[in-house]
Chains A and B, each alone.
Chain A
Amino acid sequence: MTISAYYYCFVGILKREMTRFLQQRSRFFSSLVRPLLWLAVFAAGFRSALGIAIIPPYETYISYEVYIAPGLIGIILLFNGMQSSLSMVYDREVGSMRVLLTSPIPRAYLLICKLLATSLVSLFQVYAFIAIARLFDITPPLMGYVYLLPAALLPALMLSALGLFLSSVIRQLENFAGVMNFIVFPMFFLSSALYPLWKMRESNEIIYQICALNPFTHGIELIRFALYGQFNLQAFSVCIATTLVFLALAIFGYDPKHGLLKRKAGGD
């Protein structure tokens, strides 16, 4: 197997994801509407809810809109990661996924390509959102937009890997809604997306601990710090480690010899 074959494979998967993204314009707009609604409606009502402490990476007082912007980027990545796994379940059901996985290229590589492709597509939406967010006075320094690229890509990979792993354990499309409720919403609400962790700690220490352990929190904090030109080593380390764990689980899940698919096939 030559390097060009690997490259051809990656480009093929990326093109497929891009085409899907460009053809499903309604999906693009709906993925933007969700965070923009949070920003324009929810944040407007909660302007004074944030409190008054200055927390890193901010050096002064910020409005609630400014605070939740990184969390809303996280929402985009979270929903996209889950949506891509939803598409994997669908693809697998109608067969196109099986065609992809019969390629002679190692399955792990195929899955990594799929992760990268969905993550890169997510970044388009992230940049579209953050551009519109300027209208709401969310104006990080210009270099922040550059640092955002790698900082958003890593959580995008992490969440897509989680989605991929979930898709390997979900038997049917119908089961997916339940998993969304048990994974997406708890992950989002038990994070630093909507409130700073010190605020959580004020009300409940256990909830605070859960939030602090949630990898989604670390993804958001990585993005938050990067937007203001700072590097959060702890968040980076947690994201890298979690991505590798989810990826390994996904690869295991899609392995026809040992994986969960085999068990499911047997069950069917």
Chain B
Amino acid sequence: MTIKSAIRVIGSSTPLNFIGVFLGASIGFATPSLAEQVYVSNEKDNTLSVIDLDTLTVTATIEVGLRPRGITFNKDFSQLYICASDSDSVQVLDVKTQKIIANLPSGVDPEQFALHPNNKDLYISNEDNAIVTVVDTVKREVISQIDVGLEPEGMAISPDGKWVVNTSETSNMLHWIDSDSHELIDNTLVDQRPRHVEFSDDGKTLWASSEIGGTVSVIDVANRTISHVYTFKIPGVYKDKIQPVGITLTHDNRFAFVALGPANHVAVIDIAQQKVIKYLLVGRRVWHLALNGDETRLISSNGISGDVSIIDVKSLTVLKSIKVGRFPWGVAVKP
């Protein structure tokens, strides 16, 4: 190296740059990341992708069972339950070690599930068998199996733990199950192909998406009847492509977000106004949604484009779309 080129090399790294790199490296080694983590199940890769919500990068990819779809955390976020549909089991991931520590009996083809507020009972819909399987996650055994309509999919439990609601895609019904007796109490007919249900935080309303019907029904929980139906219209998008699937609601009951499947948009509903106020362009075939802890970020899984979109809830703008595995399906956030 000549003197001239040595001077050039030193000159290219300014003191500020050098200090910045040094400090950055020190901080990086000294403190572990405290950022929230987004877990995404990749249906066709048999993996989970883990995304750091501060840096918006994929930090880990974890091998799991076959065709992972629905995912949900337990109450203290120490374990993640994974519907490994083609493995016919619900897997338990230890979040700290990122290893599968158990396979729960789940019935055939588990797709979606919901954890009871008692943090113990897992209600799983078995798409191929038209039943809901109840599993005790502590004893790791099946407690009960409940007959429901054809192709059960969506599953939600009321915040007080009283109601378990399951959707059956082909019967076009919401099935109301009493969580104490595990008896089917009532059915509510909604539009074609109900895929997902979600209770509001106060437990007064239940939201249900109908994929083929292209609507979202809001059901009054007290009398189990439909109180409002939302329809969607996006300029330049064919009506048939608007297929609502995932729904998530903010805790303050201000916004409802609806993933519109092949329409590649997420609808933002102002609940007080009962009005769709915005459509956000995300990746292809947007499927499920999750909010982070303080509800500043909404994350959507975009199946066909193989990425997730991160949405800023305050400005209702899409910040970034991040590549994950093939066909991302479920999404859950660990604070």
Name A54-72 residues within 8 Å CB distance of B: 54, 59-63
Name B196-243 residues within 8 Å CB distance of A: 235-237
Which listed residue, A44, A62, A139, touches B236 by the CB 8 Å rule? A44
CA distance A110 to B74 in the complex (A): 74
Q: How far is the CB of B56 from chain A (nearest CB, A)?
A: 9
Decide if B235 touches A61 in the complex (CB within 8 Å).
no
Decide if B235 touches A52 in the complex (CB within 8 Å).
no
Decide if A59 touches B321 in the complex (CB within 8 Å).
yes
| Chain A neighbourhood of B283, CB < 8 A | 52, 61
Known A52-B284, A52-B305: A59·B236 in contact at CB below 8 Å: no
Interface centre among A52, A60, A62, A63 (most CB of B within 10 A): A60
A47 at the interface (CB under 8 A from B): yes
Decide if A59 touches B235 in the complex (CB within 8 Å).
no
In this complex, the interface size class of chain B, counting residues with CB under 8 Å from chain A, is 10 to 19
A24 at the interface (CB under 8 A from B): no
Decide if B281 touches A61 in the complex (CB within 8 Å).
yes
B282 at the interface (CB under 8 A from A): yes
CA distance A59 to B284 in the complex (A): 15
User: B265-299 vs A: 1/0 string, CB under 8 Å?
Assistant: 00000000000000001111000000000000000
Decide if A62 touches B317 in the complex (CB within 8 Å).
no
Decide if A61 touches B282 in the complex (CB within 8 Å).
yes
| Chain A neighbourhood of B237, CB < 8 A | 48
Known A44-B235, A47-B235: A63·B320 in contact at CB below 8 Å: no
CA distance A48 to B321 in the complex (A): 18
| Chain A neighbourhood of B319, CB < 8 A | 59-60
Closest A residue to B305 using CB positions: A52
Name B309-326 residues within 8 Å CB distance of A: 309, 317-321
Which listed residue, B235, B236, B264, B321, touches A54 by the CB 8 Å rule? B321
| Chain B neighbourhood of A44, CB < 8 A | 235-236
Decide if A61 touches B318 in the complex (CB within 8 Å).
yes
Name B109-146 residues within 8 Å CB distance of A: none
Closest A residue to B315 using CB positions: A139
| Chain B neighbourhood of A60, CB < 8 A | 281-282, 309, 318-321
Name B88-113 residues within 8 Å CB distance of A: none
Closest A residue to B320 using CB positions: A59
In this complex, the interface size class of chain A, counting residues with CB under 8 Å from chain B, is 10 to 19
Interface centre among B236, B237, B318, B320 (most CB of A within 10 A): B236
Decide if A61 touches B236 in the complex (CB within 8 Å).
no
| Chain B neighbourhood of A62, CB < 8 A | 281
Decide if A63 touches B321 in the complex (CB within 8 Å).
no
Known A47-B235, A47-B236: A61·B321 in contact at CB below 8 Å: yes
Decide if A48 touches B236 in the complex (CB within 8 Å).
yes
Q: How far is the CB of B329 from chain A (nearest CB, A)?
A: 19
Closest A residue to B309 using CB positions: A60
Name A26-47 residues within 8 Å CB distance of B: 44, 47
Q: How far is the CB of A200 from chain B (nearest CB, A)?
A: 22
CA distance A19 to B321 in the complex (A): 47
CA distance A211 to B173 in the complex (A): 55
Q: How far is the CB of B310 from chain A (nearest CB, A)?
A: 8
| Chain B neighbourhood of A54, CB < 8 A | 321
| B residues in contact (CB < 8 Å) with A | 235-237, 264, 281-284, 305, 309, 317-321
5 nearest CB pairs, A to B: A47-B236, A60-B321, A59-B320, A60-B318, A61-B281
User: What are some 20 contacts across the A-B interface (CB < 8 A)?
Assistant: A44-B235, A48-B236, A48-B237, A52-B283, A52-B305, A54-B321, A59-B320, A59-B321, A60-B309, A60-B318, A60-B320, A60-B321, A61-B264, A61-B281, A61-B309, A61-B318, A61-B321, A62-B281, A63-B281, A139-B317
